[in-house]
Amino acid sequence: MDRRQFILSGIALGTAASFGIGGLSWQRSLQQHNDNRDLVLSALLPALLYGALPQDATLAATELNRTKAAVADFMPFLPQRQQQELHQLFNLLANRVTQLALTGHIAALPQLSISQRLQLLNQWRDSYLSLLQQAYHGLRELLYGAYYGQSEHWQALAYTAPRFR
């Protein structure tokens, strides 16, 4: 077992154990669960992209869906160990109990306000645990890359890709 995965599991699974919940094993936490990824991205993207997403709710929803699809399309290109770490992060954040250990919030991620979600990301950035810092930077790059990789999202940049052919 990789030491880093062990620490992340250790924090979250330790909390789960202290609540008497044995259902979430280390091995299971490394597996891909698309619903968990979707839940976490649906909660974090509107915070991370606050100020970038369009005001119009329908347009914003379209951009969020496009970004979530881009994340799913990109992840298989990462090394297996990084994919597992991301699966684990999504799984732990999607689980109410393990989420508590990572966020300090008892409320589920989608119930937090946008500013609480941003505050949470900033807490990870400044955490004394390098694992939470890595989660902050890893998610940030993955999600911003996925959003700004889409030519439909470049209006605010006043940038258009050249058309050569």
Partner 1 sequence: MMTRHFDASQFTQNRQFEADIVIIGSGAGGGIAAEQLAQAGFKVLLLEEGAWYTRDDFVMQERWAYPQLYQEGAARKSRDQAISILQGRTVGGSTTVNWTTSIRTPSPTLDYWSAEFGVNFSDDADLTPYFAMAEQRLNIQPWPVAPNANNAKLQQGCEKLGWQYTVINRNVNGCANLGYCGMGCPINAKQSMLVTTIPAAMALGATLISRISVRQLHWQGDSITGLDAVPVDQYFQPRSDVRIHIKAKHYIVAAGAIGSPALLLRSKVPNPSGRLGRHTYLHPTVISGALFDEAINGHSGAPQSIYSDQFVWPQHSDKAGYKLEVPPLHPVLMATKLTGTGGQHAALMQQFNHLQVTIALLRDGFHPQSQGGTVQLDDAQQPVLDYPISDYLWQGMREALLSMAELQFAAGAKQVLPIHHDAKLYNNWHEAKGAIHTLPMQALKQTVVSAHVMGGCNMSASVAKGVVNQEGRHHQLQNLSVFDGSILPTSLGANPQLTIYALVWRNCQQLITSLQ
Interacting span for partner 1 (CB under 8 A) from 8-16, 34-42, 93-101, 116-124: 116-124
**Which burial class, exposed, middle or buried, applies to 112 when counting CB atoms under 10 A from its CB (0-12, 13-18, 19+)?**
middle
Tokens of 13: 């699974």
Selected from 18, 34, 113, 130, the binder of partner 1 by CB under 8 A is 130
Binding to partner 1 by residue 144, rule CB under 8 A?
Answer: yes
For 137-153, letters b (16+ CB in 10 Å) and e give eebeebbeebbbeeeeb
104 near partner 1 (CB under 8 A): no
Distance (Å, rounded) from C-alpha 123 to C-alpha 133? 9
Which of 49, 92, 94, 102 forms a contact with partner 1 (CB under 8 A)? 49
Residue 6 interacts with partner 1 (CB under 8 A)? no
Q: How crowded is residue 16: how many other Cβ atoms within 10 Å of its Cβ? A: 23
Smallest gap from Cβ 57 to partner 1, in A, equals: 17
Among 64, 108, 112, 121, binds partner 1 (CB under 8 A): 121
- Of 57 and 159, which CB lies nearer to partner 1 in the complex structure? 159
